[in-house]
Amino acid sequence: MYAKFLTVWPMIILAILIGCGVALQWAMLAAIGRSHGGFQAAWFSCLTTVAALGLILLFRYFQTNSIDNSGIFSTRIEIISIITICVGVVILLSLKDLPWWAGLSGLFGLGLILGAAWIVPSVGVAEFFVAVTVGSAVAGVAIDHAGLFGNATNIMTIPRVTAVLLVILGMAIIRLAGLVQSD
């Protein structure tokens, strides 16, 4: 039981960090949405996610001469390159009307997608979801308190902190239940 506890915690911590990134992404999207509209903010975030994933796939290809060893990808590297370049050009053209940090918004979404693909097989959907929620709640309260990206300021209060602590308690209960169940 103790060995399983130690091997899973790094993944749980990574999921919590992913949740912090998700909260940052939402704050960024809210700021972009205020100035350019919600659909445009979502579109831009999706484009940055696609571009970041394309760059990762290209990097992997040039590092290993293969995108993946599973054979899932029938897409040729040339097509991924063209898509990545085109999306990158659109992002660069869009950034002239956006703050510099807007280009980072999709990276957090990509982190969530990749995190789910890598972490969920080890810890399960519920535990991954709750860990991401813990990170989102902790970062969200801090972001609201600071009013980051020009969003509304919501002062950190005892009820807000208590709510976050209850989410953390929920994560601990799910983790302990998983440890007891696996024995």
Q: What CA–CA distance (Å, rounded) separates 61 from 50?
A: 16
pLDDT by 10-residue block (mean), the chain, 183 residues: 69 96 96 93 92 89 71 70 92 86 90 95 92 97 95 94 95 82 62
Exposure class string for 23-51: b at 16+ Cβ within 10 A, else e: bbbbbbbbbbbeebeeeebeebbebbbbb
Domain that holds residue 23: 2-182
pLDDT at 95: 83
Which residues, 6+ apart, have CB-to-CB distance to 38 below 8 Å? 29
pLDDT at 7: 77
User: How many domains, in total, are found in the chain?
Assistant: 1
pLDDT at 4: 61
pLDDT at 164: 96
Single pTM value for the model: 0.86
Residue 82's identity, in one-letter code, is I
DSSP assigned state of 100: G
pLDDT at 117: 94
